């Protein structure tokens, strides 16, 4: 529900932030449902991502100043609110020239895409990546970051009534190939591999048969990274893929990666600088967004849970 809360007093190491925009991500929904690995102590404010502007700072705050734009450094802050007092260490400054919707959606999906492309296989220009859920926020970021690095992408989506429109959008972002899950099982895939090398990396945000079929196209010794399970079905791998093709299966959770950086946030800051630079160069944009006033949050939550949703709901605060 929407309600007024009393603002916490500003401590010496605290920052008073006016929130500007915050997206509705699948993980936010899962936290509310109680099915996510990270659960807030109740009562709680929803939202793990967003952007705000600093209004005031405590006398011991050194890295932030009034007027700075900030995003959460970690999950669990509760960003679906108009303003709040946060600890300085829980925030990261972002350059003021990063567009509002880019900044609001920078901390989860693009970071996930960046880390998966960088941390599991030593990809070089000309290599390829295959991914399902290619129209998701992560998928759109993968396409753009890979394109900027000279890496080709094979993008898998579910068949849908507006498929040509979706294919056109993903191609405009820099996708090299867009196929449906059904196409993964068909001979048409051979034509793709005449011009594009078999992928060394597969990114799985769906699970179930989609992951199994995608895995079949991975080159020997390649890696499949699972970061989501939208199908709510297990990942099934043929024994032959392990024995004869030596594929590797890994998992990735952005929240855990950020927790691992607690004592040294330079890796996080470096990644954010790289992503902001891509934004400045026009190589990384916000996903397709629908802006919703905070008072209409119920409509945003309902829209975020509908199937075949390619537009991210953004609460404007």
Which of 293, 301, 317 minimizes the C-alpha distance to 26? Answer: 301
**How far, in whole angstroms, is CA 163 from its chain's centroid?**
22
CA–CA separation, 16 and 18 (whole Å): 7
CA–CA separation, 286 and 105 (whole Å): 7
* Catalytic annotation present for 36: yes
Give 167's contacts (C-beta < 8 A, 6+ positions apart): 157, 178
Which of 15, 20, 170 minimizes the C-alpha distance to 98? Answer: 20
Q: Which of 36, 114, 227, 297 is catalytic?
A: 36
- CA distances from residue 182 to 142, 147, 209, 214 in whole angstroms, order as listed: 22, 25, 10, 11
Give the start-end residues of each E strand in the chain.
Answer: 14-23, 51-57, 69-72, 83-87, 91-94, 128-131, 152-157, 177-180, 201-204, 223-226, 248-251, 289-293, 312-316
Q: For 182, left (φ over 0), alpha (ψ -120 to 50), or beta?
A: alpha
The beta-carbon contacts of 89-93 under 8 Å, at least 24 apart in sequence, are: 89/13, 91/15, 91/17, 91/64, 92/265, 92/268, 92/269, 92/272, 93/63, 93/64, 93/68, 93/69
Give 195's contacts (C-beta < 8 A, 6+ positions apart): none
Catalytic site positions: 36
């Amino acid at each position: 529900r929407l309600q007024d809360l009393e603002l916490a007093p500003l401590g010496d190491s605290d920052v008073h932030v006016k929130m500007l925009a915050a997206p509705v991500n699948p993980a936010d929904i899962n936290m509310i449902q109680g099915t996510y690995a990270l659960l807030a102590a109740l009562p709680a404010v929803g939202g793990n991502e967003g952007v705000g502007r600093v209004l005031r700072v405590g006398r011991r705050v050194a890295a932030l100043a009034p007027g700075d734009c900030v995003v959460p450094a970690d999950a669990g802050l509760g960003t679906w609110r108009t303003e709040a007092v946060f600890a300085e260490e829980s925030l990261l400054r972002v350059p003021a020239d990063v567009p509002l919707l880019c900044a609001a959606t920078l901390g989860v999906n693009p970071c996930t895409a960046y880390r998966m492309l960088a941390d599991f296989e030593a990809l070089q220009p000309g290599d390829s990546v295959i991914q399902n859920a290619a129209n998701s926020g992560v998928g759109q970021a993968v396409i753009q970051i890979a394109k900027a690095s000279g890496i080709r992408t094979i993008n898998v989506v579910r068949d849908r009534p507006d498929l040509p429109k979706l294919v056109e959008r993903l191609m405009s972002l820099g996708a090299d190939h867009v196929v449906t899950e059904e196409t993964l099982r068909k001979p048409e895939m051979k034509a793709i591999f005449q011009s594009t090398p078999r992928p060394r990396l597969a990114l799985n945000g769906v699970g179930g048969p989609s992951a199994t079929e995608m895995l079949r196209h991975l080159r020997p010794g390649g890696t499949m990274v699972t970061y989501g399970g939208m199908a709510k079905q297990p990942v099934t791998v043929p024994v032959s893929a392990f024995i004869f093709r030596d594929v590797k299966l890994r998992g990735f959770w952005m929240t855990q990666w950020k927790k691992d950086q607690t004592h040294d946030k330079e890796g996080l800051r470096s990644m954010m600088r790289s992503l902001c630079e891509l934004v400045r160069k026009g190589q990384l944009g916000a996903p397709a967004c629908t802006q919703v006033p905070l008072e209409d949050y119920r409509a945003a939550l309902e829209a975020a849970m509908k199937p075949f949703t390619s537009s991210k709901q953004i609460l404007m605060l």
